[in-house]
Structure 1
Amino acid sequence: MKLAKHILIALILGAVAGLVMNLSMPNAFTSIDKYFLTPLGTIFISLIKMLVVPLVFFSIVLGTANIGDPKKLGKIGVKSIAFFLATTAIAITIAIILASIIKPGTVGTFNTEGLSYESQEAPAVTDTLLGIIPTNPVAAFVEANMLQIIFFSVFIGIALAFLGDRVKSALKVVDEANEIMLYLVSLVMKFAPYGTFGLIASAIGKQGFDAIKAMGLYMIVVLVALIVHFVLVYGGALKFLAKKNPIQFVKDFFPAMTVAFSTSSSGATLPISMKLAQTKLGVPKSISSFVQPLGATVNMDGTAIMQGVATVFIAQVYGVNLTITELAIVVIIAVLASIGTAAVPGAGLIMLAMVLNAVSLPVEGIALIIGIDRILDMARTAVNVSGDAVCAMYVSQTEKGSEEQYTENEKSLPQAQ
């Protein structure tokens, strides 16, 4: 917990420093942010992003080769996606209920004149699904297209499993490369407290107290919904499905949650979240290396909560009463969109635009919330990353009969001399 404590202290100090500079020295903050805070955070994010693609590739190849049986791999994939879709539906339902009860859009005065927001068109679901198959694997690696990397890595892993002893030396290289990546993660995480301080101080300093105050109730509803989802849904899944202690999970996984919070990137958090799942949470490499990268791309529970609260909030601001049928449409569209926009940058706002269009609400309303979205995005990402780990633990528990075989496969790899 030493690293977790240092990151937490850095997070608190960064928030305080950012708020103080915004209130007392806004002009000086611009220079401090440009030459110190932003570079500090950018270096940290770049270091961990540097490891994401090779770590995902080597770990998925290794994990798939260890599982060996494509049918078992298919079962793990189906369980994971079913878990993600179910929790996404629950997440947005919680958000809609809380926003409907608290009514953040009816408190205060919101000026909707002159608002504008240019929404991007979401790709068709078929395009997203067909786009999973990389026509050029090298391009997929260069562009960090996670779905294509996962697909290609699984293919390589299956080939290694079927070829067996004939490619034992290749499997040994993959195993050693994976160990190198995990070691590099440990080195990069030593810089985490400094990167966290820079990222948080910059984010809070840029937003300022006025923006937070103006949208205070909206922010509170989103944060409460995130906490309720984390405690009840993830806590319940850990207790009753994964048969694990939720409190111990928080203690063991806390460093990954703080990195997710400070970077606002599930992908960038993958190296540390996978390492903790394998070393602290007891998830086999073969399951962690498949489920967590998939979750980093598909799982959008935190984003779904934002969409639920934002939709009800915008409806209240514009004086629109959403019917039960329209609210049900919001849930369905959000769940389906989480798959259709899985590999799309900025998917959260694209999904929100889709939801607003589906219930005939003005997309321009997004401009009301976009100013403080960066702060809420940090909390959403922490929830998303936690959900990926919880899913990996759940799948690990359900595959316990096969877990010993996975472990034996991992142990039987040729050891480095």
Structure 2
Amino acid sequence: MALLKLKLHWQILIALALAVVVGLLVGEDGNLFGVSFHAIFDFIGQLFLNALKMLIVPLIVSSIIVGVASIGDSDNLGRLGGKTIGYYALTSLLAIIVGLMVVNLIQPGVVDGSPEEVFGLSADAGELETQFADKGADDIVAIFLRMVPTNIVAAASATQMLGLIFFSILYGFFMTQIANQYAEVQYNFFQGMFQIMMKITDLVMRFAPIGVFALVAKTVASTGLEAFVPLLQFFFTVVLALGLHFAVTIPLLLRVLGGVSPLRHYRAVSPALLTAFSTASSSATLPLTMECVEKNAGVSNKTTSFVLPLGATINMDGTALYECVAVMFIAQAYGIELGLATQFTVVLLALMTSIGVAGIPAASLVAIAIILSAVGLPLEGLGLLLAVDRILDMLRTAVNVTGDSAGAVIIAKSEGETGILEDGGFENADPERAGP
């Protein structure tokens, strides 16, 4: 019972350690009453992955519709809203590009040997390679065609996420353009669906330690510890990409767009960044982030109270970067070279899903499942990521909060606010100053 009272990430870490030990002990030939442990692990792991698949369509549809409708309905799509959403789209896109460049350069999933031998992956790599063959720049046109599905029900059935996301954005926006008595009913329905899906997601994630145990034990039983060598390469690839976005991309934006000192900004928001790292939650860190940006950086309450809550919901630089690197790593693990068109799809979906599912538990896990389904890669590759996900979750959350806080500063400067990140501003900032 004491184990169940531990926080989820500790349960997952314990399950991971047990999985390594058990996998090494039983090996691929161990059995219980004539049933191989490998088959048991495979069954439990597949059950967990199926539960994740079950969440994808209703979760993405309800979350995006509610999110878009909430922004539009509160009259926030004016000048400040346009700047905020534009900035968040830019930083997320830059983060994804950084991740794509680093993972293509290092190629952590490229190893000697077959996917089954090295990673314990059972999907037929030859079939997958045929599926992705002959994909070129011309296929980018087909991507945009898939964004407008001829049948939304068929798109949902086939898990065609681009079409579903595009339809959900349109639905959420035009929900705010109809008579209030109808819009309120629609909004309440999808808000209710979203709340239900969050509850179901929470239920599924309670079984995550069991799913992690089964997936990792299966891999270790099949391959020993060989799969952990490329996993370390994947880990350091993500860390390097996050580091470049944190130390190069965001400081450049602060200097070029905001005209402020990046070092002063990082000093001002350092308590929020440390809290984000330790809690791995942008939402839990939000009150401290707002306090740091107002009192330490000198941004007005008007800007802070709009930009930061919106950012904690839709701006996930680190998450978007991680999704992109993870999908590319899994493709490399199967020995598949993703062409320009498929990589473009990954970029688009990483951008959209980092917005659409950012506020839910285990957002990255669900988002990666969405992208893998969309590009045709098996979900079993998710099992590889769980071994190193917790530390990376802490790092990417700190990057998420950094992007949010930088956005508040840059947008405040664009609105003409003064005294931001200036000498003495940490002590003398007026949080109620709204600028001209």
Q: What range is the shorter-chain TM-score in?
A: 0.5 to 0.7
Alpha-carbon contact 2:301-2:431 (below 8 Å) kept? no
Q: How far apart are residue 410 of structure 1 and its match? A: 3.9
Whole-Å separation in 1 of the counterparts to 2:288 and 2:431: 24
Q: Counterparts of 2:169 and 2:249 in 1: how far apart (Å)? A: 27
Measure how far apart 1:339 and its partner are.
3.3
Please name the residue that 2:213 is paired with: none
Structure 2 counterpart of 1:376, from 382, 392, 395: 392
How big is each residue's C-alpha offset from its partner over 1:17-55, in whole Å with a ceiling of 9 and x where there is no partner?
Answer: x99xx89xx9xxxxxxxxxxxxxxxxxxxxxxxxxxxxx
Q: CA deviation at 1:89?
A: 1.1
Find the counterpart in structure 2 of residue 336 from structure 1. Answer: 352
How far did 1:340 drift? 3.2
What are the residue-to-residue correspondences of 1:53-92 with 2, within 5 Å?
74-92=78-96
Preserved CA contact (<8 Å) 1:125 1:339: no
Q: Distance in 2 between matches of 1:134 and 1:293?
A: 22
Q: Aligned to 1:252, what secondary structure does the other structure show? A: helix
Displacement after TM superposition at 1:392 (Å): 0.3
Write the deviation string for residues 311-370 of structure 1: whole angstroms up to 9, x where unpaired.
111011001110112111111122223333354443322221222223222122111102
CA contact (8 A) 1:134 1:140 kept: no
TM-score under structure 1 normalisation? 0.58
Is the CA contact (8 Å cut-off) linking 1:128 and 1:340 kept in structure 2? no
Q: CA deviation at 1:137?
A: 11
1:226 match:
242
**Aligned Cα root-mean-square deviation (Å):** 4.0
Q: Aligned ranges for residues 201-212 of structure 1 at < 5 Å?
A: none
Greater RCO (Cα-Cα under 8 Å, separation 6 or more): 1
- The SS at the match of 2:388 is helix
Residue 377 of structure 1 and its aligned partner are, at CA, apart by 0.5
DSSP-derived class of the 2:253 partner: helix
Aligned residue identity for 1:105: G
Q: Give CA deviations for 1:218-264 in whole Å, capped at 9, x if unaligned.
A: 11000110011112221011111111111111112111101000101
Q: Deviations over 1:86-111 (max 9, x none)?
A: 11111111111111110111247221
Kept in 1, the 8 Å contact 2:314–2:356? The answer is no
Q: For 1:190-224, what per-residue CA distance to the aligned partner results, in whole angstroms no more than 9, with x for missing partners?
A: xxxxxxxxxxxxxxxxx9xx897662111100011
Residue 105 of structure 1 corresponds to: 109
The residue number in structure 2 matching 1:324 is 340
C-alpha distance in 2 between matches for 1:346 and 1:143: 18
Q: In structure 2, give the amino acid aligned to 1:346.
A: A
Q: Within 1, Cα distance between the matches of 2:307 and 2:96?
A: 22
1:304 aligns with 2:298: no
Cα distance change on mapping 1:277 and 1:212 into 2, 3 Å? farther
Deviations 1:358-390 (A, max 9, x none): 322212211110232111000000000010000
Tell me the amino acid that sits aligned with residue 362 of structure 1. P
Map of 1:116-131 to 2, 5 A cutoff?
A: 124-126=168-170
Q: Does residue 367 in structure 1 map to residue 376 in structure 2?
A: no
The answer for the alignment partner of 2:99 in structure 1 is: 95
Give the match's secondary structure for 1:95: helix
Aligned equivalents of 2:269, 2:322: Cα separation in 1: 23
Q: 1:343 to 1:134 in 2, by over 3 A?
A: farther
Q: Please show how residues 17-416 of structure 1 align to structure 2 within 5 Å.
A: 74-107=78-111, 109-113=118-122, 124-126=168-170, 215-400=231-416, 410=432
Distance in 2, Cα, partners of 1:394 & 1:295:
13
Q: Which amino acid aligns with 1:297?
A: T
Deviations along 1:50-107, one digit per CA (max 9) or x if unpaired, are xxxxxxxxxxxxxxxxxxxx98972111111111111111111111111111011124
Change over 3 Å in CA distance of 1:403–1:73 after alignment to 2? farther
**Native 8 Å contact 2:103 2:328 kept in 1:** yes
Q: Structure 2: which 5+ runs fail to align?
A: 1-12, 22-73, 113-117, 125-158, 177-182, 196-215, 217-224, 421-428
Structure 1 residues 142 and 333: CA distance shift in structure 2, 3 A:
closer
Go from structure 1 to structure 2 and tell me whether the alpha carbon gap of 1:375 and 1:142 turns closer, same or farther (over 3 Å shift). Answer: farther
- What is the SS of the residue equivalent to 1:371? coil
Q: What is the rounded CA distance, in whole Å, between the counterparts of 1:143 and 1:259 in structure 2?
A: 31
CA distances 1:260-307 after superposition (whole Å, capped 9, x unpaired): 001010000001100000011111111011100000000011011111
Alpha-carbon shift at residue 136 of structure 1 (Å):
12
Give the partner amino acid of 2:89: L
Distance 1:253 1:327, change over 3 A: same
SS in 2 for 1:104: coil
Measure the CA separation in 2 of the matches of 1:391 and 1:226.
Answer: 17
Structure in which a larger fraction of residues adopt helix: 1
Distance 1:357 1:137, change over 3 A: closer
Aligned residues with identical type, % of pairs: 35
Q: Is the 8 A contact 2:295 2:431 kept in 1?
A: no
CA distance in 1, matches of 2:331, 2:375: 10
- Letter of the structure 1 residue corresponding to residue 99 of structure 2: A
**1:390-415, Cα deviation, whole Å (9 max, x unpaired):** 000010000016999xx999479xxx
Partner Cα distance (1:381, 1:265) in 2: 6
Whole-angstrom CA distance in 2 between matches of 1:249 and 1:100: 31
